[in-house]
Chain A
Amino acid sequence: MASIALRFPPSELPESALHLRDEVRAFVKEEIAAGTFQPTVDSWLSGISPEFSRKLGERGWLGMSWSKKYGGHERSLLDRFVVSKELLAAGAPVGVHWAGDRQTGPMLETHGTEYQKQKYLPAMARGECFFALGLSESDAGSDLANVRTRATQTEGGWLLNGSKIWSSGAHHAHAMVVLCRTSPKDDSNRHAGISQLMIETDQEGVTIRPIHLITGVHHFNEVVFENAFVPDNMVVGEIGGGWAQVVSELAFERSGPERFLSTFPLFLEFLKVVKGTREPRIQEMVGNLTARYTALYNMSLRVMGMLAQGERVDTEAALVKDVGTRYESELTEALRLLVHERGSFAEPTRFESQLMKALLHSPGFTLRGGTNEILRGMIARGLGLR
């Protein structure tokens, strides 16, 4: 028998998490009733509401797994999973805190200095300080180790030069952690000489320029660094150790329920439209789509269970993300064929506006967080093919 590294051991939510789930559901229901937000697809990219993020912070639903010492709540990753999946399924506006809460915070807690943790984590957990990611560059997309942004040592710190692109929400963010070269590229070890430096977005030498999506909406940014000074106390982890740090961060980036739920609010809108239908074609498709969500939910839960146990889940997370993100678009394609009427563009129905948004956002689903082709390469490695 071939050796297969992929495994999905059963995982179950503890009683405490089920209780938490009910709390989040009740909260979301109230917020929707109060008109705080309208459910929207891709809400973890496009749902921007610092006020909503602060409300989550007040309830203890940000920084959930972090140490209490740093404003966290010392709850398990499964508890965080519960809050995430409920907010995403409801299409709640979680975009502004998403990346920081998901990956920068845990990374800082592991690799940051006491000063950094004290300064940023409590504010992040309150929903008052937001982070953008500083990873991709024009020549470093899937090939992240090819980053060219560089930092050179100077009196008391580092001078940062270069630029990051696709930094979602950088224009709302207070700070970002920038992956950069602190020593020249060594072709025999491409992962050496890479570091993570933290920088605040309003400081001198940092320019944020909008990059508009195909919707025309501003979510992406180019962030340019021109001799931006980073004091030594803003170096995250080890100089030269940035690659290992960022790889561990990516497990958090890839494993969450946002990798299959981006278009779930569209499905809910669809069910309102077809309420009471007896068309077998629609019934069958709804059944198939529900079945696919059920499988993805269980895969996602199992990956989170492993992550909560401290296991490495790189390959399994890549697999769920590959299946899940392809499905986000496939759902959209399936639903559009089941609703015949098309109305005014001046006053589209909620289903119509969400359908257009889901389609226009769909190219991003299988690109962000590592393109699916690269992820499948990782899965192939996990299978022992390479």
Chain B
Amino acid sequence: MILADQILVESATKLLSDLSTVEVINASEKGEWAKDLWETLEDSGLTLACVPEQLGGAGASLTDAFAIIRLAGYFAAPVPLADTLLASYALAQAKQKVPLGPMTFIPVGSNNQLTAELTGDSWVLSGQAIAVPWARHAAHVVARVDCDGKPCLVLIPRSGIQVTEANSMSGEPADDITISDVSLAKDAIIPAASSDQALNNLGALTRVTGMVGSIEKVLHQSVQYATERVQFGRPIAKFQAIQQELAILAGESAAAQVIVDAAIGEVESAGAEEAGLRIAAAKARVGEAAGKATRISHQVHGAIGFTYEHPLHHCTRRIWAWREEYGIESEWATLLGKTVIDHGPDALWPWITA
């Protein structure tokens, strides 16, 4: 198993803890771009962590990049680290130089109605895509579009898209975009080197990884709150009912953490496409943990945690939002279950313990 680089993890922790503050997160939800946060992350090489150096990145491992995504989930960092990871991964796999700046990624799927037509000498891009994370703040959009029947990536500058702003449950941008006859330079059309399945798998993995970070955070917040909040003359942490619930939350946090690590490990060892079932297991299990973690953390926090004023919602809303992205857990569970049933009982234990 590849372990995340400790120095990188420590510096990312410090940076996010200093700059992803309650004020910054709330301002971001009001539409303000978290410029300082992004630029500091970028200057530290954390936005393109796993892109090879010769393509413009930091040359770290995918495990490192996911460690950063998890921390971003913990600190509810209002910047498109996960989507930049996806876009940059797709470009780097296709041996393309990766530009700096925030990016977002549009995979194939019903939300992606973009088409490219060869008109004379150049490709012209048109169509819509909905619920595109962070589109309004992205310097570039990377979209999977078929060109002449071949799977391609297109690198679209922000200037080429019209954005209808909307936010997901998390309060983070999830914009609808329209592209009207934008001519692209020849080199902006790149034959895709990763399969759609690989990119979709990786997309799901970024979401569950962020959720692991956010679940960890709501556990910490809940423990902290329970030890500070006094009712009936003592901290509510002293009530067994509260202790029992928080122990369950701790179990969910641990389960989510280990299954996501297992999926990341398999992506490292076998590749993003081959790791699909382990990622499916992670999506299913973390989805379950998400439901319990949000319920318990809000219950322990009482009414104050139900208000905008208290920062608990920065993570609980992100958990709820990310759970919906790149396939809900029932979809992934069905995929996994179908394979388990097809392969029969003898193959199950070897797979679980692989």
* Interface set of A (CB-CB < 8 Å, partner B): 1-2, 4, 6, 8, 10, 12, 21, 25, 85-86, 89, 264, 267-269, 271-272, 274-277, 280, 282-288, 290-299, 302, 316, 319-320, 322-323, 373, 375-377, 379-380, 382-386
Report B-chain residues with C-beta under 8 Å of the C-beta of A21: 353
A274 touches B341 (CB 8 A): yes
Minimum CB–CB distance for B57 against chain A, Å = 24
Report B-chain residues with C-beta under 8 Å of the C-beta of A293: 352
**Given contacts A287-B335, A293-B352, A2 and B224 within 8 Å (CB-CB):** yes
Bound form: Cα–Cα A384–B288 in Å: 25
Minimum CB–CB distance for A204 against chain B, Å = 45
Bound form: Cα–Cα A85–B333 in Å: 24
A380 touches B336 (CB 8 A): no
How many A-B pairs with Cβ below 8 Å? 171
Q: What are the 7 closest A-B residue pairs judged by CB atoms, nearest first?
A: A287-B333, A287-B337, A286-B337, A380-B243, A376-B247, A287-B336, A283-B337
Residue count of chain B within 8 Å CB distance of chain A:
55
Bound form: Cα–Cα A95–B334 in Å: 36
Report if B230 contacts A (CB, 8 A).
no
**Given contacts A283-B337, A291-B259, A294-B281, A322 and B349 within 8 Å (CB-CB):** no
**Given contacts A284-B334, A287-B332, A294 and B262 within 8 Å (CB-CB):** yes
Bound form: Cα–Cα A288–B221 in Å: 28
Report if B290 contacts A (CB, 8 A).
no
Report A-chain residues with C-beta under 8 Å of the C-beta of B224: 1-2
**B contact face: mostly helix, strand, loop, or mixed:** helix
A379 touches B247 (CB 8 A): yes
B residues 321-336 in Cβ contact with A at 8 Å: 329-330, 332-336
Bound form: Cα–Cα A199–B1 in Å: 46
A376 touches B244 (CB 8 A): yes
**Given contacts A385-B223, A385-B243, A6 and B352 within 8 Å (CB-CB):** no
**A contact face: mostly helix, strand, loop, or mixed:** helix
Minimum CB–CB distance for B305 against chain A, Å = 15
B349 touches A89 (CB 8 A): yes
Besides the known contacts A271-B341, A290-B336, A298-B258, 18 further A-B residue pairs in the complex with CB atoms under 8 A apart = A6-B254, A86-B349, A264-B349, A285-B333, A287-B281, A288-B284, A291-B333, A295-B258, A295-B281, A298-B262, A316-B254, A319-B250, A376-B248, A377-B243, A379-B251, A380-B243, A384-B223, A385-B238
Report B-chain residues with C-beta under 8 Å of the C-beta of A379: 246-247, 250-251
Neighbour of B258 across the interface among A8, A280, A283, A322, CB < 8 A? A8
Minimum CB–CB distance for A355 against chain B, Å = 15
Bound form: Cα–Cα A4–B221 in Å: 11
Q: List 22 A-B contacts (CB under 8 A).
A: A10-B1, A12-B1, A271-B344, A272-B344, A283-B337, A283-B338, A284-B334, A287-B281, A287-B284, A287-B337, A288-B288, A291-B259, A291-B282, A294-B285, A319-B250, A323-B254, A375-B247, A379-B246, A379-B251, A380-B247, A383-B247, A385-B238
Report B-chain residues with C-beta under 8 Å of the C-beta of A86: 349
Report B-chain residues with C-beta under 8 Å of the C-beta of A296: 255
Bound form: Cα–Cα A103–B341 in Å: 37
Bound form: Cα–Cα A191–B58 in Å: 56
Neighbour of B255 across the interface among A4, A286, A295, A376, CB < 8 A? A295
Neighbour of B337 across the interface among A8, A288, A380, A384, CB < 8 A? A288
